[in-house]
Chain A
Amino acid sequence: MAIPLSYSWRNLLTRRATTILTAGGMALVVFVFTATLMLAEGLRQTLVSTGSPDNVVVMRKSSETEVQSTLERQVAQVAATQPQVAVDVQGRLLAARELVILISLAKRSSGAASNVVIRGIGPASLELRPQVKLVAGRMPEPGSTEIMVGQSVLSKFAGVALGQTLTFGQREWAVVGVFDAGNTGFASEIWGDADQLMQAFRRQSYSVVVAKLKSYDDFDAYRADIESDPRLQAEVKRERQYYEDQSKALSRFLRVLGISLTAIFSIGAMLGAMITMYSAVATRIGEIGTMRALGFKRRAILAAFLAESLLLGFLGGATGLFFSAFLSFMSFSTTNFQTFAELAFKFTLTGEIAMWAMGFALFMGVSGGLLPALRASRLNIVEALRSG
């Protein structure tokens, strides 16, 4: 016969201070664990959704990021006019020659300078990125020194509000629009006219060509055409792949950091659980003897104490998850090591992360409670009764 769960639950209630301290320790561990997983997931989702599956990016050979890449005008021309490139309803080719440069702006919070991507766009750029929508003001006129800023830039940097002007490249640039790019990397960018920016910065070449292909399967043919042409010295990637590669270093770093931190922490929390459970067993030796004498099997005692430490883990996990859920309202902004540009992304909680966190909490509970529970179940009836 099993000992009812309410027995374990009431035991936790009786030692309220101890329960709160132990579960609190576990909650902190779960909180940190969840927060790092949420960050890594937010980063992944942001960068993956930045790229569209049908789009391709053409860059100079062996440059790793758009910022490093340069494409001469003729090269860009060839890349933008391949037969695989899709055509819109008006019959224009869906390919944009873009310029990507970094400028440093002062952060709103600290005043410290941080790098922001300025993307010089072409007529097709907007159509290639359906996730980018204007939310305030208007689009920059082609051929003018007007720019529009992403919402993350607006909230994180000073002096970029609608109607203000930025000075760089010896010109004044009026902020005429704010765009919403959802949860993507474009939200951390400033967009303006590519040709104007090239003149201002005295650049002779574009950075990349972004093109939409007629169909997903045209990629291999398009890539073969570009990469086999020795004059071009260019390479082609799917846009989604490109952005995933960009996140590799940072997400690996976040994951390594998170896992090593929680590994160390969880040792502390497991020790806490073990101390609590050993003491729970020690103070109830007489009780255990009585239960055994009443006919409860060793297995039932083991189960009752394991249930108690599992409940403890559950309490800790639930508290930790509860507080980390609030992180979803926050966004995190840091410099991406690969691009050297500021990138904002959200803490993202998924069902999978919640399951991992809860599993981890229960694991901490079990591993802390197993030895004490075994000890309780192995007690000799007579000796236990005598000492109680």
Chain B
Amino acid sequence: MLLIRLAVRNAFRHRLRSFLTILGVMVAILAFGLLRTVIDAWYAGVEASSANRLVTRSSVSLMFSLPMAYKDKIRAVPGVTQVCQGNWFGGIYIDEKNFFANFAYEPQTLLDLYPEYVIDDPAQRSDFLRDRKGCLVGVKLAKRFGWKVGDNITLRGTIFPGDWVMTVRAIYRGARSGTDESQLFFHWAYLDETMRVNYPSRAGQVGFYMVGINDPNKAAEISRAVDAQFANSLAETLTETEKAFQMSFVSMSEAIILAIRLVSFVVVLIILAVSANTMAMSARERTGEYAVLKTLGFSARTVALLIASEALVISLTGAGLGLLLILPCAEAFGTLMTDFFPVFAVSRETIIYGVVAGVAVGILSGIYPAMYAARVRIAVALRKVG
């Protein structure tokens, strides 16, 4: 008890320095937490994917389409419950800066396959299913542009030429916190019919199929069965779980993710340098005191423990403050970056890692001064006038 009180007193004896060190640790833990949350946000699509869904796409690359005729063949594979055809539409709303994800899907199977998109009003749901020029938007996206049910919006096609007019028929919210609420879905039939008129050669083409399966354990088997049907055909397919599919997007920017990861560790190194510095200075200044403590009969171990706990007090105070600030900061940052990261939430692991980092910094920065004080010879230390 006495030791702890002494450590706390010591930690705050040099008030300005302790304040600065705590501030440093706080900023670093905050940065560490935010960086980890950025990485989590990157993987949001992977986390949100369901084990009950497979994605079938062209084996050459995602930019090649598959014939519409594949739908029934996939549907006939044992274990498949639902098939929904979809296209990445890539439309632009007014200006390129307003980027958001927009897809053309077959609406009924879309809603069946994605129970996490919840439409609270049954009237909206049936309106969306009925209106071929209707679209379904996420609640976050609707808020961003101030859309209400019944509004007309126009997307400029980049992959599918022309101006595409559609009506907001329904607004969904996510069933879980990780669900992306900033997407737009409209009827695949609208896309296909328009293409049939303007660019007949591009009609009847599907970007990818979302495949619902009854047993996640058979995902690999069903994937192989689907791909086997189209082997050696003009458009060979590649079927994988939704998770693997989402992962392939994440791995495209793996170099950047790796860089952010590295940087988040560098932050911890910097705090370590700052707080080790503080502890080294304290230890040097108080060499005389340690000698007195030793003369009074305190063992070397106790003296070392005293210094180590002083370092812990400082770094844990800083880490605690940093962790307290993470949630409000993440929220502010998330609203700022909502275009880049639709889902931005601090995970429990991040908090745990933050605590671990705080403890680790405290221990590591205390070790050297503690050893120094434990080893210092009383006579030498007392002779030093300081």
Contact string against A for B residues 218-252, beta-carbon threshold 8 Å, 1 for contact and 0 otherwise? 00000000000000101000000000000010011
Q: Which residues of A contact B20 (CB under 8 A)?
A: 271, 274-275, 278
Q: Size class of A's contact patch?
A: 35 or more
Q: Which residues of B contact A67 (CB under 8 A)?
A: 63
CB <8 Å contact, B158 and A68: yes
CB <8 Å contact, A64 and B266: no
Min CB distance B20 to A, Å, is 5
Please report the C-alpha to C-alpha distance between residue A283 and residue B16 in the assembled complex, in whole angstroms.
Answer: 14
Known: A25-B273, A28-B269, A268-B24. A201 touches B252 (CB 8 A): no
Q: In A1-53, which residues have CB < 8 Å from any B CB?
A: 17-18, 21-22, 24-25, 28-29, 32
Please report the C-alpha to C-alpha distance between residue A8 and residue B340 in the assembled complex, in whole angstroms.
Answer: 48
Min CB distance B187 to A, Å, is 22
CB <8 Å contact, B251 and A110: yes
B98 at the interface (CB under 8 A from A): no
CB <8 Å contact, A18 and B280: yes
Q: Which residues of B contact A64 (CB under 8 A)?
A: 96, 158
Known: A25-B270, A113-B248. A275 touches B17 (CB 8 A): yes
Known: A62-B158, A102-B63, A334-B256. A28 touches B277 (CB 8 A): no
A215 at the interface (CB under 8 A from B): no
In the complex, identify which listed stretch (A124-132, A220-228, A257-265, A290-298) lies at the interface while the others stay far away. A257-265
Main secondary structure of the interface of B (DSSP, over half): helix
CB <8 Å contact, A112 and B248: yes
Please report the C-alpha to C-alpha distance between residue A275 and residue B248 in the assembled complex, in whole angstroms.
Answer: 46
CB <8 Å contact, A68 and B273: no
CB <8 Å contact, A268 and B161: no
Known: A21-B280, A32-B263, A334-B255. A61 touches B31 (CB 8 A): no
Please report the C-alpha to C-alpha distance between residue A272 and residue B270 in the assembled complex, in whole angstroms.
Answer: 9
Q: Which residues of A contact B278 (CB under 8 A)?
A: 275
Min CB distance A345 to B, Å, is 11
CB <8 Å contact, A271 and B274: yes
CB <8 Å contact, A17 and B280: yes
B residues lining the A interface (CB < 8 Å): 16-17, 20-21, 23-24, 27-28, 30-31, 34-35, 60-64, 90, 96, 156-159, 161, 201, 232, 234, 248, 251-256, 260, 263, 266-267, 269-271, 273-274, 276-278, 280-281, 285, 340
Q: Which residues of B contact A202 (CB under 8 A)?
A: 234
CB <8 Å contact, B157 and A62: yes
Of all chain B residues, which has the CB nearest A116?
A: B61
Of all chain A residues, which has the CB nearest B17?
A: A275
Q: Which residues of A contact B23 (CB under 8 A)?
A: 271
Min CB distance A74 to B, Å, is 14
New contact pairs (14) apart from A28-B269, A170-B232, CB-CB < 8 Å: A25-B277, A62-B158, A63-B159, A101-B63, A103-B60, A201-B60, A201-B64, A265-B31, A265-B266, A265-B267, A268-B267, A268-B271, A275-B278, A279-B17
A169 at the interface (CB under 8 A from B): yes
Min CB distance B223 to A, Å, is 15
Q: Which residues of B contact A350 (CB under 8 A)?
A: none
Q: 21 A-B Cβ contacts within 8 A?
A: A21-B280, A22-B273, A28-B266, A32-B263, A62-B157, A63-B161, A68-B158, A104-B62, A110-B254, A112-B251, A115-B61, A115-B252, A264-B30, A268-B274, A271-B274, A275-B274, A275-B281, A278-B17, A278-B20, A340-B252, A342-B252
Pick from A17, A62, A332: contact of B255, CB under 8 Å: A332
Q: Which residues of A contact B252 (CB under 8 A)?
A: 114-115, 334-335, 340, 342
A55 at the interface (CB under 8 A from B): no
Min CB distance B259 to A, Å, is 8
Please report the C-alpha to C-alpha distance between residue A261 and residue B16 in the assembled complex, in whole angstroms.
Answer: 26
Pick from B96, B158, B270: contact of A268, CB under 8 Å: B270
CB <8 Å contact, B234 and A276: no
Min CB distance B204 to A, Å, is 13
Please report the C-alpha to C-alpha distance between residue A204 and residue B255 in the assembled complex, in whole angstroms.
Answer: 36
Q: Which residues of B contact A334 (CB under 8 A)?
A: 252-256
Q: In A271-312, which residues have CB < 8 Å from any B CB?
A: 271-272, 274-276, 278-279, 283
CB <8 Å contact, A22 and B277: yes
Of B20, B35, B270, B340, most buried by chain A (CB within 10 Å of CB) is B270
CB <8 Å contact, B270 and A114: no
